[in-house]
Amino acid sequence: MVKVLIIEDSEETVELLKVILRNENNIEIYEASSVKEGMKIITLKKPNIILLDLNLPDGNGSYVCEKLRKNPTLYNNPFILAITAETSQSSINKNLELGCDDYIKKPFNQKELLIRIKKFIKRVPEKKQELTYEKINVNLKNKNVVYDTDNVTLSKNEFKLLTFFIVNKGILLNREKILDHVWDDNLEISNKAVDQCLKRLRKKIPLLNDALVSKRGFGYILK
């Protein structure tokens, strides 16, 4: 599944972009209308492709591009296609230098835009079917977890939590971010749910007792 994030404050343009993409298979579309909303979705969902308006209500889209390129590990280094009303070559060059992979000027030709997006889709690497961390092996397809040589039975949330830490190894994750990823379908869950789920996970996979470190007041990090 290729994740495409549209960061655009014009509802008309968003709907047009969705129409352009609707016949493409294996695409999951997310929407944001501001820099703040866009950054939150990028952090949580790790999109593969971003269609980025450079003029947003709360700031310049260039900020998004620059921030992502400064920390490719955290933000998964997505392809960025800038959608701009700017006509000056100097402005376009600036955004390309900041890390935009391509750009298209408004108003754009639908066919041309789709061709550009398809080039990115072809370059998105296939999702890994397995994750490994030391003696832990996770099969993402059949949800099977092996620790050392033993199969480990995990609940749905325990599985999501384990994979989230492995994918973000070396990154400090706060409770809010973990809650949004693991319990995104229930807003009533408290921070204690993270601690309880981790307690069960550590019991089932003892390696995590030392490898998964708690930073008091900040969150957790898998070393």
Instruction: Please identify, in words, the CATH class of the domain defined by 130-222.
Output: mainly alpha
Whether 190 and 176 have beta carbons less than 8 Å apart is answered as no
d(C-alpha 42, C-alpha 55), whole Å: 18
Would you say 54 and 95 are in contact if contact means Cβ atoms under 8 Å apart? yes
Q: Map tokens 């939150």 to a residue.
A: 40
Per CATH, domain 2-123 is 3.40.980.10: no
Q: Is the pTM of this model over 0.75?
A: no
pLDDT 10s digits, 165-197:
998 888 888 887 888 778 765 556 666 788 889
Enumerate the domain spans of the chain.
2-123, 130-222
Say how far apart CA 135 and CA 75 lie, in whole Å.
26
Q: What count of residues does the chain have?
A: 223
pLDDT tens sequence across 23-68: 888 899 999 999 999 999 998 889 999 999 988 999 888 889 989 9
CA dihedral 36, 42, 47, 51 (to 10 degrees): 20
